[in-house]
Amino acid sequence: MKVVFDGVVFQFGPTDVTLMWSHVLSTMKTYAAPHVALLDRGGAPHFDGIERIAFPSYKLNTNTASDSLLLERVCKECKADVFVSTLYTTPTTVPSVVAFSDASGFEPSPRQEQERELAINFASHYVCASDRIRDDLEARYPGTRLRSAVPLSRPEKSLQSTAERWDALADCIHQQLAQAHSEGSSPARQAFVREWTRLRAIQAAVEPCRISDL
């Protein structure tokens, strides 16, 4: 299984979120099997055993549909089976896992709100770093099968350290990757992604360029 992580969050400099993702990525090699590639949009650290692919930097307020089409081309070129973004970016056909964390530190613009909605609607699997985040998102997006990274066997309050919470998140992402991969080729999903790709291409074609958005 080949997994492509979009390292978009590293582009915006070090924060709690980048620390969390660094931890998750650095543990990926401990899981059996997946070949992991990291799209470096600028600022992505090196991780042992992870292939890096340079990818154009992300603009938060413009060209997000074009970005999605380009992500798809690169994912296809490197034969990605599953995609994970560190923000709300999405390809157009590759099964995707979205992870939501507590440590946002990131005030989304109206366009980013839209992209978050699309990421939720496109993804096949979801991981929330805590029960609270899962509950908040479930209220906002009813019907979404959100999964908390907090293990059922361990109440959230028993996870004492940040590292423990991040380990739980990495575990959970890893489990969801396998499921997303196995469901990726169902006929219903194929029909869905064909229509999704068509609409995303139309969206890219009707986005006017405004200098003020750059």
Partner 1 sequence: MPDVLSGLRATLGKALRQAVGCLARFAPESVLRIVNAEVGAEAQRRNAAKVGLLSDGEFVIRFSEVLFQGRGADSDDVERWKELLDEAPARREAFLRDAVTAYLANPPSSVVPQLNDPGRMHILGTSRSFLLQDWQKLKVERGVCARPSRAGRTVPASSFQHTGEFKVSAIASLYKGGKHIEAFLENITAQTIFDRSELIIIDANSPENEAEIIDRYRKIFPNIIYKRINYKIGIYDAWNLGVEMSRGQFITNTNLDDLRKENSFELQASTLERHDFVNIVYQDFFYSMDSRLSFDDVAKIGIKSDLPIITPHNLLLFNSPHNAPMWRRTLHDELGLFDTALRSAGDWEFWLRCISRNKTFYKINEPHVVYFNNPEGISTRPDTKGFEEGLRLRRSYGPKLVSRQLRMSRKEFSELLGSEVDWSRRPSYYDVVHNNLERLGHSFRTHGSHHQSRSL
Residue 148 touching partner 1 (CB under 8 A): no
Q: In whole angstroms, give the CA distance from residue 5 to residue 86.
A: 7
Q: In whole angstroms, give the CA distance from residue 83 to residue 93.
A: 10
Q: Which residues contact 175 (CB under 8 A, 6 or more apart)?
A: none
What one-character-per-residue DSSP string does 147-171 give?
EESS-TTS-GGG--SHHHHHHHHHH
Residue 120 touching partner 1 (CB under 8 A): yes
Q: In whole angstroms, give the CA distance from residue 149 to residue 171.
A: 8
For residue 204, the number of C-alpha atoms closer than 13 Å in the C-beta half-sphere is 14
**Cα 126 off chain centre by:** 9
Residue 33 touching partner 1 (CB under 8 A): no
Given the complex with partner 1, which of 76 and 154 has the nearer CB atom? 76
Residues 176-205 contacting partner 1, CB under 8 A? 188-189, 191-192, 195-196, 199-200, 202-205
Which member of 109, 121, 158, 185 binds partner 1 (CB under 8 A)?
121
Residue 56 touching partner 1 (CB under 8 A): yes
Given the complex with partner 1, which of 10 and 166 has the nearer CB atom? 10
Given the complex with partner 1, which of 164 and 183 has the nearer CB atom? 183
User: CB of residue 115 vs partner 1: minimum separation in angstroms?
Assistant: 9
Residue 83 touching partner 1 (CB under 8 A): no
Q: Which residues contact 142 (CB under 8 A, 6 or more apart)?
A: none
User: Which residues of the shown chain bind partner 1 in the complex (CB under 8 A)?
Assistant: 40-42, 53-57, 59, 62-63, 65-67, 70, 73-74, 77, 114, 117-118, 120-122, 143-145, 188-189, 191-192, 195-196, 199-200, 202-212, 214
